[in-house]
Amino acid sequence: MSHDQQHHHSGATHHEEHHITPLSTYLKVAAALFALTFLTIIAHIFKTHYLAVAPLIAFTIAAIKAFLVMAWFMHLKYEPQTNRLIFACGFLGLAVLFGVCAMDIFTRIYQGSVL
Amino acid sequence: MSTSRLINGVEVASHYRDAEHQYLSNKEGIWLFMVTEILMFGGLFVGYIIFHTIYPEMFAEGASYLDWHLGFINTLVLIGSSLTMALGFYYNQIAQPKKATYALIATVLCGAVFMVIKYFEYMHKFHLGIFPGMMLDAAKMAEHGHPVVHSNLGLYFGFYFCMSGLHGLHVLIGMGLISWLTYRNIRGDFNPKYYTPIEGVGIFWHIVDLIWIFLFPLLYLVG
């Protein structure tokens, strides 16, 4: 459903502009989040079979859960483009922080430091 | 005092054109605040990942002291609270404030359950002599049959207590804010035309859940 971008400055029909997520959608999202949490634990219990990719599996499931929370619970799906861009900037900043720190730490040449 | 005026039943501050202008500006502010949250927790995540890469065995030793069952229960509790928070918002949108009040109270109770479980986790660690950084009591840990293998184990618990503690602080603040919303909701402040505070606090509460979604595998499972 597309968000109504037109604003009526007459002030007559404001309450009809905001998106209302149906109750069934909230319940489905919550059910998916519970199911994915159980999946995380099942994957954790059997992780001795695939130790190398266990963190990847755990964080992939976490990323899917994060997407569900952001899109429906935080209503990012129906937010104005500006707000989505603002929030994305946070993750962009985080990626820069991680990238620069990782490049610094892991390209250092060992010079007998005791740290 | 303030120079707000009533437009179509909604109190609008003087520097806004109309209720919609006020609503959109307020929400933009909330999203800017969320960016600072991402960066604050993000810094700790980046630090954790880097030190985990440098000292994988020491982090594994630290993680072995965490019980994933408790983290798992807390994850379910927080997801449940996120649903009830969303319902508190939804029922105000469709003009059923009474149901919204119940949903908000349920959210605060879920937050309380989370904090109680966290309290027992922390108390157990303090009992064993596990404290962050230099405060880690290696002698006490050995006394309890848990001799420290890696001498810099305190670093792991520095991350553990800072990350879960900062998150717990957010849960407490969120509980306070939702209690305030509950009070205002019972007073009849919110209706389908005006529910900005519920939506704003809701977004804050969901980001607390969002951070826990990553903290849980990071601290309890991957270790």
* Burial (0-12, 13-18, 19+ Cβ within 10 Å), B203: buried
Buried-state track A43-74, b at ≥16 Cβ within 10 A, e below 16 = bbeebeeeeeebbebbbebbeebbebbbebbb
Is the pTM above the cut of 0.80?
yes
- Is B27–A83 a contact, with Cβ atoms under 8 angstroms apart? yes
Q: How confident is the model at residue A8 (pLDDT cuts 50, 70, 90)?
A: very low
* Residue B111 contacts residue B81 (beta carbons within 8 Å): yes
- Is B20–A12 a contact, with Cβ atoms under 8 angstroms apart? no
* Residue B129 contacts residue B148 (beta carbons within 8 Å): no
* Residue A70 contacts residue B34 (beta carbons within 8 Å): no
| Neighboring chain B residues of A86 at a CB cutoff of 8 Å | 28, 31-32, 35
| Neighboring chain A residues of B72 at a CB cutoff of 8 Å | 37, 41
| Measured distance between the N- and C-terminal CA atoms of chain B, rounded to whole angstroms | 54
- Is A105–B210 a contact, with Cβ atoms under 8 angstroms apart? no
Report the sign of the C-alpha dihedral through residues A32, A37, A42, A48, in that order. positive
Paired with B6 in beta bridges are B11
B50 closest CB neighbour out of A23, A74, A105: A105
pLDDT digit string (tens) for B21-46? 999 999 999 999 999 999 999 999 99
The pLDDT value given to residue A1: 39
| Neighboring chain B residues of A59 at a CB cutoff of 8 Å | 214, 217, 222
- Is A62–B193 a contact, with Cβ atoms under 8 angstroms apart? no
- What is the Cα–Cα distance from A53 to A43, expressed in whole angstroms? 11
Q: Residue written as tokens 């927790």? A: B41
pLDDT digit string (tens) for B187-218? 999 999 999 999 999 999 999 999 999 999 99
Q: Is B72 on the interface with A (CB under 8 A)?
A: yes
Q: Residue written as tokens 């006490």? A: B140
Whether the per-residue pLDDT at A73 is higher than 90: the answer is: yes
Nearest in space to B156 (alpha carbons), one of B75, B70, B40, B54: B54
Whether the per-residue pLDDT at A113 is higher than 70: the answer is: no
N residues, chain B: 223
Whether the per-residue pLDDT at B129 is higher than 80: the answer is: yes
Strand boundaries in chain B, DSSP class E = 5-7, 10-12
pLDDT digit string (tens) for B154-172? 999 999 999 999 999 999 9
- What is the Cα–Cα distance from A110 to A106, expressed in whole angstroms? 10
The pLDDT value given to residue A13: 43
Q: What SS3 state is found at A15?
A: helix
Show Cβ contacts of residue A20 under 8 Å, excluding neighbours closer than 6 positions.
B90, B93, B94
B28 closest CB neighbour out of A7, A82, A106: A82
For an interface test with B, the pick among A4, A6, A14 (most B C-beta atoms closer than 10 Å) comes out as A14
pLDDT digit string (tens) for A55-72? 999 999 999 999 999 999
Nearest in space to B156 (alpha carbons), one of B65, B33, B78: B65
Q: Is A15 on the interface with B (CB under 8 A)?
A: yes
Q: Residue written as tokens 């630090």? A: B47
The stretches of chain A forming alpha helices (DSSP H) are: 23-45, 54-68, 81-106
Considering only residues 87 to 146 of chain B, which have any Cβ-Cβ distance to chain A shorter than 8 Å? Answer: 87, 90, 93-94
Q: Is A18 on the interface with B (CB under 8 A)?
A: yes
Q: Is A54 on the interface with B (CB under 8 A)?
A: yes
